[in-house]
Amino acid sequence: MEPPHNNTSKQDPGRRRPWVVGISGASGTPYAASVLRGLLAAGEAVDLIVSRASRLTLLDETGIAFRDAHWRTDLRAWLALGADGKPETFPVTEESLADVRYWPAGDLAAGPSSGSYPVKGMLIVPASTACVAGVALGLSKDLLQRVASVTLKERRRLVVTVRETPLNGPTLKHLVALDEAGAVVLPASPAFYAGATHIQDLVDFVAGRVLDAAEVPHGLYRRWEGELRGGSKEEAPDPS
pLDDT single digits (tens) 34-65: 999 999 999 999 999 999 999 999 999 999 99
Q: Are 18 and 47 in contact (CB under 8 A)?
A: yes
Q: For residue 157, what is the enclosing H or E element?
A: strand 157-162
Give the residue among 117, 90, 93 at the shortest CA–CA distance from 103.
117
Distance of CA 93 to the CA centre of its chain: 19
Angle of helix 52-62 relative to helix 29-41, nearest 10 degrees, comes to 100
From residue 93, give the alpha-carbon distance in Å to each of 12, 46, 83.
22, 15, 19
Q: What is the pLDDT of residues 100-110, one digit of tens each?
A: 999 999 999 99
How many alpha carbons fall within 13 Å on the CB side of residue 55? 12
The 10s digit of each residue's pLDDT in 121-133 is 999 999 999 999 9
Distance CA 93, CA 40 (A): 11
Q: Phi then psi for 158, rounded to 5 degrees? A: -125, 120
pLDDT truncated to tens, each residue of the chain (240 aa)?
566 766 544 445 568 999 999 999 999 999 999 999 999 999 999 999 999 999 999 999 999 999 999 999 999 999 999 999 999 999 999 999 999 999 999 999 999 999 999 999 999 999 999 999 999 999 999 999 999 999 999 999 999 999 999 999 999 999 999 999 999 999 999 999 988 999 999 999 999 999 999 999 999 999 998 888 655 555 444 444
C-alpha pair distances (Å), 116 with each of 14, 111, 140, 153: 12, 9, 17, 12
